[in-house]
Amino acid sequence: MFRLTKAVVQKLRHVRFNFQQQAWRLRSSSAREKALEYQLGQKIHGFTVREVEAVPDLCLTAVKLTHDKTGAQYLHAARDDSNNLFSVQFRTTPMDSTGVPHILEHTVLCGSEKYPCRDPFFKMLNRSLSTFMNAFTASDYTMYPFSTQNGKDFQNLLTVYLDAVFFPCLREQDFWQEGWRLENEDPTDRSSPLVFKGVVFNEMKGVFSDNEYLYAQHLQNKLYPDHTYSVVSGGEPLAIPDLTWEQLKQFHATHYHPSNARFFTYGDLPLENHLKQIQEEALCRFDRISPNTEVPSQPHWSSPREDHVTCSPDALAPDPTKQNTLCMSYLLGDITNAFEGFTLSLLSSLMVSGPNSPFYKSLIEPKIGSDFSSVVGYDGSTKEASFSIGLQGMAEQDTERVKQIINQTIDEIIENGFDNERIEALLHKIEIQIKHQSTNFGLSLASYIASSWNHDGDPVELLRITTNVAKFRQALKENPRFLQDKVRHYFKENTHRLTLRMSPDEAYLEKQAQAEAEKLRDKISSLTDSDRKEIYEKCLKLLETQSKTQDASCLPALKVSDIQPTIPITAVQMSTAAYVPVQYCEQPTNGLVYFRAMCSLNTLPEDLRVYVPLFCSIITKMGCGALDYRQQAQQMELRTGGMSVSTQVIPDSTQMDTFEQGVLLFSSCLERNLPHMFQLWSDIFNSPHFDSEERLRVLVMMAAQELANGISSSGHMYAMTRAGRHLTPAGELQETFGGMEQVKFMKRIAEMPDLSQVIRILPRIKKHILNPENMRCAINATPQKISDSATQLESFIKDVAENRKERKPVRASIVKKPLDPLNHSGPSRKLITEPTFQPCLMKTFFQMPFHVNFVSESIRTVPFCHQDYASLCILARMVTAKFLHGEIREKGGAYGGGARMGGSGVFCFYSYRDPNSVQTLSAFQKGVDWAKSGQFSQQDIDEAKLSVFSAVDSPVAPADKGVSRFLSGITDEMKQSYRERLFAVDHKSLVDVAERYLGVGQSTCGFAILGPENDAIKKDPTWILK
């Protein structure tokens, strides 16, 4: 579990309004009805009710309160959803880049007054059935959210969170471990050189290896140069070592106070209980203060500014000669004006989203760059919002041209405005987002209101979506130039505009390393012999503390007996539409219909497989039937909640060397639009457009750029995929579809001067994939809509019948598995099997322009239905929590690391943003030795079970019910027997699987590392260097 920093909060900001109506939790009186009974001015446990409002759009009742004694603000969203959430956030406004709020966020979770054991946060992950636990540092607030479906668990977690944020220990040792410290490279050898270590120090080195993040950070710092936004709240690696332990404690004292706090709770648990617990366990010990953490408005510039920064070159960039980024960023209005924010956010979508938007036409289609800049569109995460527009992957000589195009496009928008149908498509999208139900609605809500509420905006006003939509329609009616006037005011006439250019510098990493070495020399030069001795002794003490077995008995915990013994059954009906098998699942989908189709790849020639991900990404974006790609995009937005195609490699649940390969079509729509949605799919099947090389090149560049950008944040996933490549036949295909091999393949395609060869391949792939002969479908809808959905599906199958053709599978060995386990003569899934497959050992190293490593070891074990699978799942969780967390994160300083058991029967070790490489591989081996030695208790096993069950029992949205059965053939009965095997896991079975699977010969494991230049690996001939 990684604690996420600002970059993630930025991604979280564009939150969808998703929610769940859980029909199975019906009460005599619903939570939202009960909440309407609160009276204004009513006193409850030290709080006063300030506002009670029904929000029918989101099926909730909002109750706003303030704490009488401290002035703490509180919002409760009562909703009939059992996945209850708590969050507390503080306005944290640092004035330097030492990362004090981020290091504090890590350190408060390392032990508190009531729970002085080390790291209660990570320990609670294994003592609870939480559906989410984390903490975020944004630019100007720090947030601590958790969610759970269990009432007792909610109270336990609330106790731990309240004690952590208000009464933390903040020990010096925790500051060294989580923040930064000087330590001998080998802590046990006093003569080894002193180096910087620390979890946040290494995390931010990793974050700053990501050029997209780097650019976003510079842009914010330079657009708001006069206050807290001019610094790096997460910590700039070279500034982190300037932070002292005293400053950390001081920041806590001034910022983590109830008078500077905002509490949010969500779900169907009673509000009174929350208020009573928060008052008694925390707030009663405080008096009101004036925190003085307000962020002043940024003084407006009288003329636009320009600036330039550098970054490291990207070896995987689609075009190595075009690695510049240029963006214009505009300061907008205060985010606490909810309607203005709503309007600007809509305006931003009209300007930049999709192929019909003016900036897409003027910047993306001329192929000047590979994609929009990493920061694009409306950003409401700071006190005053901003809008950014620009390009990445462009040549330096196009700088002036891009600036001209941006200004010209703004002029054109002011003159021509927007097509009414595009505005309707956007409002339709909002309607779908309001109706779509997700499982983490509480968290989405907490993130959605966080920024505005942080600056004293009204959080309830943000929830009145349909009121804002109506107001927006009215404004357009009264003034048809309403949006054009906004563009003129905020863009054309706005002098607070920053143009920021970023270009690669070959010596960038070297300069960074030199600057770090210099910083280190400065720190060391002033040390006396006794200082060095003290550092050595303190670090030995830290190592000793980290190596001690922790007594966590003070922490509250659920028991294994608190876990439900059985799973709720999801009813599905098996049927056919014409000759195509269909699974129907009746669900409370709130007026939406969800459609899936799985198309087999068994007849596709092997040499075309590497092209399949590209085919999936373009097939819904090139145009179809009578529609060009722009019209197609418009119709998709007007009539559906989105249409996508993705690759699927589905390991068999009983055999290691058997798997299904296919692509999954997915779409959703409002019930009234069912015929339109199926018409769009029919056109894609019958007459997709592949002829435009211009359009294809744009899509290829964007796809290649996105893959290259994603490695620095998902390096551990790429390492695990690569390490498992030669262990199973499915592993080989997973690497082809989603591993480093695909990244490099897309780079090669992007570099091709002529794409006509690719254009010839696409129809060949289409012929094999979009073939109803090798297809099965699934529909999730309300009971009232199932028969209509079936009728529409039948007519879709008839419409695409011309594509039906029986073709021979490419591989000889095909295994048939019935779709309905009770009907062996009915339709079946056709899986590929390789009974003679031989796994082999491979060690691969990818040199990357990063400061940190992503390390993985994968081991071939057993499939899902095997007796030992459950034991391996519990073992992975236990070895992570009880051994690897201490070795890799606490001692090693990596941001994260652990073990996981994959559905493909491959057991993986991994580390994330890790300063070590070979050392981490030996930590994995020590983890296996620890498991084999059996040095763990029954309590350790029970905690691992709780952790595994919290994932197994995480809530499933109505849209996704029955999907694991549809895709993998895993029935509720199979899930129940897996559940029983999990309950039955004991000490003996854990030691047994560790010995039998994890300690065996080398042929069954693989290794992969992505990281900076590595001399030790270069000298080792057993590694393949990429």
Whether the Cβ atoms of residue 232 and residue 99 lie closer than 8 Å to each other: yes
Dist. CA 658–CA 649, nearest whole Å: 11
Dist. CA 928–CA 43, nearest whole Å: 56
Dist. CA 23–CA 213, nearest whole Å: 42
Specify whether the backbone of 453 is left (phi greater than 0), alpha (psi in -120 to 50) or beta.
Answer: alpha
Phi (first) and psi of residue 49, to 5 degrees: -75, 125
Catalytic residue among 51, 53, 105, 340: 105
Measured from the Cβ of residue 151, the count of other Cβ atoms closer than 10 Å reads 15
Q: DSSP string spanning 106-144?
A: HHHTT-BSS--SS-HHHHHTTSS-EEEE--EE-SSEEEE
Q: What is the enclosing helix (H) or strand (E) of 34?
A: helix 31-35
For residue 443, the Cα-to-chain-centroid distance in whole angstroms is: 13
Measured from the Cβ of residue 751, the count of other Cβ atoms closer than 10 Å reads 13
Question: For residue 484, what are the CA distances in angstroms to 297, 319, 784?
Answer: 26, 36, 43
Dist. CA 94–CA 100, nearest whole Å: 7
Question: For residue 439, what are the CA distances in angstroms to 124, 443, 475, 594, 692?
Answer: 21, 9, 34, 16, 40
Token representation of residue 772: 């109803």
CA atoms within 13 A on the CB side of 747: 19
Question: Where do the H-state alpha helices sit in 772-896?
Answer: 786-799, 869-879
Task: Please tell me whether residue 1007 adopts helix, strand or coil conformation.
Answer: strand
Specify whether the backbone of 235 is left (phi greater than 0), alpha (psi in -120 to 50) or beta.
Answer: left
Burial 172-211 (b: 16+ CB within 10 A, else e): ebbbbbbbbbbbbeebeeeeeebbbbbbbbbbbbbbbbbb
Positive or negative, the CA dihedral 325, 331, 336, 338 is negative
Positive or negative, the CA dihedral 909, 912, 914, 917 is positive
Whether the Cβ atoms of residue 184 and residue 190 lie closer than 8 Å to each other: yes
Measured from the Cβ of residue 380, the count of other Cβ atoms closer than 10 Å reads 22
Whether the Cβ atoms of residue 136 and residue 3 lie closer than 8 Å to each other: yes
Whether the Cβ atoms of residue 904 and residue 651 lie closer than 8 Å to each other: yes
Dist. CA 427–CA 471, nearest whole Å: 12
Beta bridge partners of 765: none
Beta bridge partners of 898: 910
Task: Please tell me whether residue 763 adopts helix, strand or coil conformation.
Answer: helix
Dist. CA 665–CA 681, nearest whole Å: 9
**Crossing angle of the two packed helices 465-478 and 420-435, in degrees rounded to 10:** 170
Closest CA to 103 of 262, 263, 252, 238: 252
Question: For residue 857, what are the CA distances in angstroms to 836, 843, 922?
Answer: 24, 9, 10
Write the CB contacts of 489 (distance below 8 Å, at least 6 apart in sequence): none
Q: What is the DSSP letter of 753?
A: S
Largest CA distance in the chain: 85
Residue with tokens 């930025």: 10
Beta bridge partners of 899: 909
Catalytic annotation present for 105:
yes
- Among all residues, which ones are annotated catalytic? 105
